[in-house]
């Protein structure tokens, strides 16, 4: 049996990670960790300026790819363009997302559908295309950025929570279908992590912020790198026997009281 030591267990040298929504927030935090672990990263997003800025920070192992995951028909072209930029994608991180804070009775059909279009339909379309290529190579790793909202009932985020809960099913089904072909599928479920999206969600709502911190065992918000290193673990040789799971990274919030 081939032995893996601590120096190589988390090494992603030779891997290519495609990260959607990778130009800012959690996506950029994960990209930093992937690059530190030796991977080349392709940052997929809609805003060219943000992608260019992020790649400038990350260095020569980062590549910008402008595109919109909600344009489902573009998925094959995006996968092909990604491979031309940096080589066959061995790690896909479905991280692109939008947030909607609104009472359920005030959430319109179009608003509800818009959130699902990005999180669920967009992630599935890209996973299907990239996953097809991984299955053919009999190797690969797909990650979905879920959320504590996948597990907990929280007011005013009915569309977001529905979308993130859908990831639990996607992870399990894709893991069962693609596992026999050497492709692992997992999820990460961040709790409340400092980001632009969190700032918007908590804007002007000090009571909500206090409630979050009071139920988080570690008593603070997380940092993007907390999520990034967990993603590196799930994509690395250290997790070669891990598939079909969703790992909470939440400071204990999901089991706190």
pLDDT, tens digit (0-9, with 9 covering 90-100), for 37-87: 999 999 999 999 999 999 999 999 999 999 999 999 999 999 999 999 999
Count Cβ atoms within 10 A of the Cβ of residue 220 and give its class: 0-12 exposed, 13-18 middle, 19 or more buried: exposed
> Is the C-alpha dihedral spanning 89, 127, 62, 231 positive or negative?
negative
Inside any domain, residue 214? no
Number of domains in the chain: 1
Residue 218 lies in a domain: no
Is 160 marked active-site?
A: yes
Q: Mean pLDDT across the stretch 17-46?
A: 96
Mean pLDDT along residues 5-12: 89
Give 78's contacts (C-beta < 8 A, 6+ positions apart): 44, 65, 67, 69, 126, 129
In a domain, 78, yes or no: yes
pLDDT over 70 percentage in the chain: 98
Q: Report the pLDDT value the prediction gives residue 2, as an integer from 0 to 100.
A: 58
**CATH assignment of the domain containing 27:** 3.40.50.720
Choosing from 34, 112, 151, 160, the catalytic residue is: 160
Q: Whole-model pTM above 0.75?
A: yes
Is residue 255 domain-resident? no
> What is the enclosing helix (H) or strand (E) of 140?
strand 140-145
Residue 257 lies in a domain: no
Going by C-beta distance under 8 Å and a sequence separation of 6 or more, which residues neighbour residue 124?
Answer: 170
Residue 204, domain member (yes or no): no
Both structure tokens of 138: 């009999």
Give CA separation, 93 vs 2, 138, 143, 202, in Å: 27, 18, 5, 26
In a domain, 111, yes or no: yes
208 falls within a domain: no
Structural domain span for residue 175: 8-194+224-248
List pLDDT tens digits, range 108-165.
Answer: 999 999 999 999 999 999 999 999 999 999 999 999 999 988 988 888 999 999 999 9
């Amino acid at each position: 049996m081939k032995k893996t030591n601590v120096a190589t267990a988390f090494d992603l040298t030779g891997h290519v990670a495609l990260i959607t929504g990778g130009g800012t927030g959690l996506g950029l935090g994960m990209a930093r960790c992937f690059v530190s672990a030796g991977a080349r990263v392709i940052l997929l997003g809609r805003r060219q300026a943000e992608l260019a800025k992020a790649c400038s920070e990350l260095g020569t192992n980062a590549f910008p790819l402008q595109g919109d995951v909600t344009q489902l028909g573009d998925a094959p072209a995006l996968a092909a363009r990604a491979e031309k930029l940096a080589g066959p994608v061995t790690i896909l991180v479905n991280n692109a997302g939008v947030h909607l804070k609104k009472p359920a009775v005030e959430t319109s059909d179009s608003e509800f559908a818009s959130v699902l279009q990005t999180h669920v339909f967009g992630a599935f379309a890209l996973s299907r295309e990239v996953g097809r290529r991984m299955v053919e190579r009999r190797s690969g790793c797909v990650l979905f950025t879920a959320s504590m909202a996948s597990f907990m009932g929280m007011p005013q985020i009915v569309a977001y929570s529905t979308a993130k809960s859908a990831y639990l099913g996607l992870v399990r089904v894709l893991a069962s279908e693609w596992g026999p072909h050497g492709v692992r599928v997992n999820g990460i479920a961040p709790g409340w992590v400092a980001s632009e999206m969190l700032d918007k969600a908590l804007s002007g709502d000090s009571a909500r912020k206090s409630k979050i911190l009071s139920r988080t065992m570690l008593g603070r918000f997380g940092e993007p790198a907390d999520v990034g290193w967990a993603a590196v673990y799930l994509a690395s040789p250290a997790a070669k026997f891990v598939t079909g799971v969703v790992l909470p990274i939440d400071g204990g919030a999901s089991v706190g009281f």
